[in-house]
Amino acid sequence: MGEGLISELKLAMPWGHIAAKAWGSHKSPPVLCLHGWLDNANSFDRLIPLLPKDFYYVAMDFGGHGLSSHYSPGFPYDHQNFVSEVRRVAAALKWNRFSLLGHSFGGTVGGMFSCIFPEMVDKLVLLESSPFILETNELENMLTYKRKAIEHMLQVEASKKPSQVVSPEEMLQGFLKNNSHVGEECGKLLLQRGTTQVATGLFLNRDRRITRPEYYFNFISRELFVHSIRKLQARVLFIKATQGFYDLRRENDANTELVLFVTSSLRSTLKERFQYVQVPGNHYVHMNQPQHMAGIISSFLQSKERIPAHL
């Protein structure tokens, strides 16, 4: 796709702006792309050029990530706020129906959005993700997470330390150490949009009030999950990487039971509107080897099966 077709967007929000990156013509059918936890819109730089040219792809930076504004002081980040950002972006772009493509955390935001606003989403692509995070393995921890989220925010507010400035090399090595699934090339891509250069080096753009993903997730019961996905009007493509993640904190990664529960519930609820595909690769396969999934996503986006209006 020609470089000329990529544009930067800055959408006004009550606390500042949401930044986004767009590919193609705004007259084409829209696809909103949602990045993973602590990533940014560059997450899709290698995949989107391999997808059909007759769509308008917009990859947004969630609040506090990438080039988007941080939330106002004292205003907490939480899963539902990210879901409402999707609604705000759709309003700013005057979209009333679109497709969603979400990686990891972005997929859980897209999944919840698609159940709350079912009439707005025609297709949902989940890359190494789940439309919701189930509480099954987490009941013991949930109050601790809420406590830690509050304590972390207060701690960051109390510490007046400026952002740490490090050399580009040190920044990249630190990033790769914390993100073992991201290759060096892709690490550089994410840091391009995730850092700001100053005379002495780089600092991270993201809001330091945002920390571990489990502090911010909305965990739900299996019962609520099954109930929620009945609301979906979208067709769903679920792409799982063979060496991907099966568990939010990676502690129960050998236990695939939850993913099986999610996929079998989606299949029995959505029937022919659900497609499950496994591809070789790890949690960042969409960046590391986008060619492993580009064909599948392209066919899914272009498929025209009519969905009855009343489900």
Enumerate the active-site residues: 104
Please check whether residue 50 is in contact with residue 189, taking contact to mean a CB–CB distance below 8 angstroms.
no
Tokens of 187: 């690490």
Q: Which two tokens stand for residue 171?
A: 């920044």
φ, ψ dihedrals at 174, nearest 5° = -60, -40
Burial (CB count within 10 angstroms: exposed 0-12, middle 13-18, buried 19+), residue 86: buried
Question: Residue 302 in 3-state DSSP?
Answer: helix
Q: For 137-145, which contacts have Cβ atoms below 8 Å and span 24 or more sequence positions?
A: 137/247, 137/248, 137/251, 137/252, 137/255, 137/258, 138/214, 138/219, 138/248, 141/214, 142/219, 145/214, 145/215, 145/217
**Residue 271 identity:** K
